[in-house]
Amino acid sequence: MTSALTREQHLDLYYFMRLNRELEEQMVRLFRQNKIVGGLYSSLGQEAISVGTAYALSPGDWIAPMIRNIGALLVRGFKPRDILTQHMARHTSPTLGKDGTSHFGDLKSRHVVSPISMLGDLIPVMTGIAMAGRYLGQKIVTMTWIGDGGTSTGAFHEGLNLAAVQKAAFVLIVENNQWAYSTPVKRQMPLRDLADRARAYGMKSAIVDGNDVVAVERTAREAVAHARAGHGPVLIEAKTMRMRGHAQHDSAEYVPKEMLESWKKRDPLDCYEQFLHQNKLWDAKTKKEIDARIAREIQADVEFAENSPFPPPELAEQGVYCAGCHTVEADWKRPKEEVMPPRSSVKPEWPIQDYGDLEAAPKRTAKSFVHGRQAGNGTRPTAASKATAKSKLLKKPARAPSPAKAGR
């Protein structure tokens, strides 16, 4: 671990990571007391990713957390009580008790988009927000997270292709936590490094130790700077481990115990505490003060949540349909004449530099065949080689004779 962060920033990272963990441990206890209404998805062992990546953004940037990204919400200014009341379906929650999980956001001030349960769908959404920011002349960057299993969805690939073509100021964090529910990565795809998927779209990518919060923050900050400068989107694969089951109902008995023990030795909080000690960024007194502050905040917010009322019955019919509750009209963020013809008009022509023929294509280093020609050797196939290549592709292998025929 090496870093250019200030001492205060280093302590911030510890505060948010520890707050993330202690809050979730408290939520587990509430879940077992039947006080959590919906599902509960733990990020144990993954706190460094949510905190480190969100910390690398600027206040005006946009994020779209998923179910294991409570740390990102905390970095963005949400309090434990917001998350507690949300999961406990209390009327004081961000959704007034209408949702029992993590489906909430803040579009007005914190620039947080609510999670979408269909995995991958947040990628085109955040690409669109990045494009809108550019359209408005804003230097914003958007970010969302996805798990290893979610990288196999259609929306993941369609969204990345759109982001790459549009050079959107977008950063995608792939949390490779080794398991898509109960399916290991090697049974999901023939890849070890999920960052390789970015190459198909001409995107920049990076691989980082997801349990090293300093490395995560630094890598994310570099990716954000790259995207903000107009160089296109970036995919970051953070390798980590989901230390609990998919949710509280899942005991994760399918995970080898040796695997859990191996990753437990690389706990992100333990590793970061060692870093702070070794670099003399804190002492026992500082740690004790931060931990005590976190304990006070969580205790106060748990009491607030438990004493908060459930939503009144009449709320169920409110906010379902809009019948004159507000006026739907355009909210012009730029002068109207700039976005209307003739000032908005452009020539209906595409400047083309490469006509797509084989000779103009860059030489390939991989030993693969492209239309009968071995890529990279610069030679055209002869008629004979074309016929040979075609026969190799089309000719079916000879079938072994059946036992009955063999015995005749």
The SS3 of residue 213 is helix
- Residue 240 buriedness (CB in 10 A; 0-12 / 13-18 / 19+): buried
Bond before 341 cis per omega within 30 degrees:
no
* Side-chain half-sphere exposure of 76, counting CA atoms within 13 A: 28
In whole angstroms, what is the distance from residue 305 CA to residue 83 CA?
9
In whole angstroms, what is the distance from residue 3 CA to residue 127 CA?
30
- Residue spans of the domains in the chain: they are 7-312, 353-389
In whole angstroms, what is the distance from residue 311 CA to residue 93 CA?
10
DSSP string for residues in 394-406: HPPPPPPPPHHHH
DSSP string for residues in 128-176: HHHHHHHHTT----EEEEEETGGGGSHHHHHHHHHHHHHT-SEEEEEEE
Nearest alpha-carbon partner for 147 in 90, 113, 185, 198: 185
The conformational region for residue 36 under phi > 0 = left, psi -120 to 50 = alpha, else beta, is beta
With residue 32 as reference, give the H or E element that holds it. Answer: helix 7-32
Per-residue pLDDT of the chain (408 residues; tens, 9 = 90+): 455 899 999 999 999 999 999 999 999 999 999 999 888 889 999 999 999 999 999 999 999 999 999 999 999 999 999 999 999 999 999 999 988 888 999 998 999 999 998 999 999 999 999 999 998 889 999 999 999 999 999 999 999 999 999 999 999 999 999 988 998 888 988 989 999 999 999 999 999 999 999 999 999 999 999 999 999 999 999 999 998 888 888 888 998 999 999 999 999 999 999 999 999 999 999 999 999 999 999 999 999 999 999 999 999 888 887 766 677 787 788 888 888 888 888 888 888 887 887 776 666 554 444 444 344 444 444 555 444 444 444 444 445 555 454 444
Q: How far is CA 111 from CA 15, 57, 147, 162, 396, in A?
A: 22, 12, 22, 22, 58
How many helices (H) and strands (E) the chain has is answered by: 13, 9
Its pTM stands at 0.83
Homologous superfamily (CATH) of 7-312 is Thiamin diphosphate (ThDP)-binding fold, Pyr/PP domains (3.40.50.970)
